[in-house]
């Protein structure tokens, strides 16, 4: 007996038409006659909600969405709702029913990506955790969002409870993204990395500490398998990477406010994308960066202040194997012309990829001069 499809509140607006793909003489439906593998490739292209709507056209298709090898189940698209006009309980209940329909314990998947609200562990969250535990997949990615009606102090408790309830599922996790989390202390991140033994990517979006003007985010996980750390639009007084033995890539976008970023033990770090302002704590002694940057090959720096080119040179000198300096370097333009050319002279004599930085600055000056002349 076929299971009923999940109720996703899909309404027909009267404009949807099903085209007959058969021959003019009524030769049948050509699309439905295709093999399952081909149909699955077709349904894999749109988002999951569209795939469910498409499967409702033909009876044979109804079982196909739950057979997709790559599932991306985002609560924002699967159960559309407005951020400030919804009941978390109702949305999570509908999302949970959808998960229970899609996740067949007997089917192996290539990847499974889930995104939902982290609330107090309730029947919905327990059902989601049980379904994740029973599913076999090569890659398991999780995005946890915070509900608007949850107090700041509850975030860490909810996360800790969820980790404790499903240790097997989190041990298999490969990627996790936290949205708008407020951390009381850094121990939540350390606990997360300790629980997620196979975690490769940790991404924080719009996160901060409870007292961001004092508290720093310290990550000390000597047994972690973390390969990449990303900070998007976050606010921390400081970030200290104490021990991350396998960290390969660090991204901290220009919207992230970090007063100081310090590196202790990151021996395998090869690629960074930072604002030059994030490294201000090394401005007086950039040689301290050498142990952390010794294996760097790719560097992206933005908001380079021309007045501080000398220490930027020293920072890049800490990376002897640097082979790629990103092209999206941005420059502050408030320096006096005399100091500009003094810094450029230093850049001109710099070896290797530092010569590219000199070219970038020269192009910036020429374009600025042309703009000024055109306005006269």
- The CB density around residue 75, as the number of other CB atoms within 10 Å, is 21
Residue 367 confidence (pLDDT) = 64
Residue 156 confidence (pLDDT) = 74
Residues near 280 by beta carbon (within 8 Å), at least 6 away in sequence: 259, 260
Residue 356 confidence (pLDDT) = 57
pTM above 0.85, yes or no: no
Q: Whole-angstrom Cα distance, residue 236 to residue 218?
A: 10
Q: Place 17 in a pLDDT band, splitting at 50, 70 and 90.
A: very low
Q: Whole-angstrom Cα distance, residue 28 to residue 261?
A: 65
Query: Tokens in use for 199?
Result: 């975690």
Query: Tokens in use for 92?
Result: 């999570």
Q: Place 307 in a pLDDT band, splitting at 50, 70 and 90.
A: low
* Beta partners for residue 139, in sequence order: 111
The answer to whether 251 and 270 are in contact (CB under 8 A) is: no
Taking 90 as the threshold, does the pLDDT of residue 343 lie above it?
Answer: no
The answer to whether 53 and 13 are in contact (CB under 8 A) is: no
> Residue with structure tokens 């990550």?
219
Strands (E), the chain: 70-74, 108-118, 136-146, 175-179, 182-183, 201-205, 208-209, 217-220, 228-232, 235-243, 249-252, 257-265, 271-275, 298-302, 304-305, 324-325, 331-332
Q: Whole-angstrom Cα distance, residue 292 to residue 314?
A: 14
Q: Whole-angstrom Cα distance, residue 314 to residue 51?
A: 53
The answer to whether 72 and 47 are in contact (CB under 8 A) is: yes
The answer to whether 235 and 257 are in contact (CB under 8 A) is: yes
Q: Place 10 in a pLDDT band, splitting at 50, 70 and 90.
A: very low
What average pLDDT does this structure show over 209-235? 87
Across 37-46, 138-147, 171-180, 326-335, least confident range: 326-335
> Residue with structure tokens 């009267």?
14
Alpha helices in 56-186 (DSSP H): 75-78, 88-102, 123-134, 155-165, 167-171
Q: Place 336 in a pLDDT band, splitting at 50, 70 and 90.
A: very low
Residue 142 confidence (pLDDT) = 95
Q: What is the mean pLDDT of the chain?
A: 76
pLDDT digits (tens, 9 = 90+) for 94-112: 999 888 888 876 678 889 9
The domain ranges of the chain are 20-68, 70-331
User: Is the model more confident about 3 or about 303?
Assistant: 303
Q: Place 149 in a pLDDT band, splitting at 50, 70 and 90.
A: low
Q: Whole-angstrom Cα distance, residue 209 to residue 219?
A: 13
User: Is the model more confident about 352 or about 73?
Assistant: 73
pLDDT digits (tens, 9 = 90+) for 39-84: 777 777 767 777 777 666 666 666 777 777 888 889 988 888 776 6
pLDDT digits (tens, 9 = 90+) for 166-220: 999 999 999 999 998 888 877 889 889 999 989 999 999 999 887 756 678 899 9
Q: Place 341 in a pLDDT band, splitting at 50, 70 and 90.
A: very low
Taking 80 as the threshold, does the pLDDT of residue 349 lie above it?
Answer: no
The answer to whether 195 and 170 are in contact (CB under 8 A) is: yes
Taking 70 as the threshold, does the pLDDT of residue 330 lie above it?
Answer: no
User: Is the model more confident about 11 or about 133?
Assistant: 133
* Tally: H helices and E strands in the chain: 12, 17
Taking 90 as the threshold, does the pLDDT of residue 224 lie above it?
Answer: yes
Residue 270 confidence (pLDDT) = 94
Q: Place 326 in a pLDDT band, splitting at 50, 70 and 90.
A: low
Residue 363 confidence (pLDDT) = 61
Q: Place 278 in a pLDDT band, splitting at 50, 70 and 90.
A: confident
Q: Whole-angstrom Cα distance, residue 287 to residue 268?
A: 18
Helix (H, G, I), strand (E, B) or coil at 143: strand
What average pLDDT does this structure show over 320-339? 56
């Amino acid at each position: 007996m076929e299971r009923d499809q999940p109720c996703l509140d899909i309404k027909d607006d009267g404009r949807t038409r099903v085209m007959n793909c058969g021959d003019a003489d009524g030769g049948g439906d050509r699309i439905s006659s295709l093999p399952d593998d081909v149909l699955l490739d077709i349904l894999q292209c749109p988002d999951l909600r569209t795939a469910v709507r498409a499967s409702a056209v033909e009876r044979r298709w109804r079982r196909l969405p739950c057979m997709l090898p790559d599932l991306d189940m985002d609560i924002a698209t699967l159960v559309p709702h407005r951020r400030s006009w919804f009941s978390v309980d109702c949305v999570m209940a509908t999302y949970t029913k959808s998960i229970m329909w899609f996740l067949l314990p007997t089917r192996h998947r290539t990847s499974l990506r889930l995104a939902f609200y982290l609330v107090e562990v309730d029947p919905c969250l327990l059902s989601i955790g049980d379904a994740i535990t029973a599913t076999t997949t090569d890659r398991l990615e999780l995005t946890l969002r915070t509900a608007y009606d949850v107090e700041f102090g509850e975030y860490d408790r909810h996360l800790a409870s969820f980790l404790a309830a499903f240790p097997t599922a989190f041990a298999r996790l490969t990627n996790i993204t936290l949205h708008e989390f407020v951390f009381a202390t850094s121990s939540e991140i350390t606990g997360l990395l300790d629980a997620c033994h196979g975690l490769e990517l940790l991404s924080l979006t719009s996160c901060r500490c409870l007292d961001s003007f004092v508290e720093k985010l310290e990550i000390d996980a000597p047994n972690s398998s973390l390969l990449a750390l990303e900070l998007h639009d976050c606010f921390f007084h400081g970030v200290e990477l104490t021990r991350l033995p396998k960290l390969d890539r660090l991204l901290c976008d220009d919207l992230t406010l970090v007063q100081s970023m310090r590196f202790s033990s990151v021996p395998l770090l090869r690629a960074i994308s930072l604002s030059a302002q994030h490294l201000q704590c090394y401005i007086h002694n950039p040689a301290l960066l050498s142990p952390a940057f010794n294996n760097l090959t790719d560097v992206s720096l933005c908001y380079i202040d021309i007045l501080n080119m000398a220490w930027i040179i020293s920072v890049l000198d800490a990376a002897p194997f640097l082979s790629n300096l990103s092209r999206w370097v941005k420059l502050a333009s408030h320096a006096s012309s005399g100091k500009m050319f003094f810094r450029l002279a230093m850049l001109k004599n710099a070896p290797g990829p530092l010569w590219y930085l000199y070219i970038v600055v020269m192009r910036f000056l020429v374009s600025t001069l042309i703009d000024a002349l055109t306005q006269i």
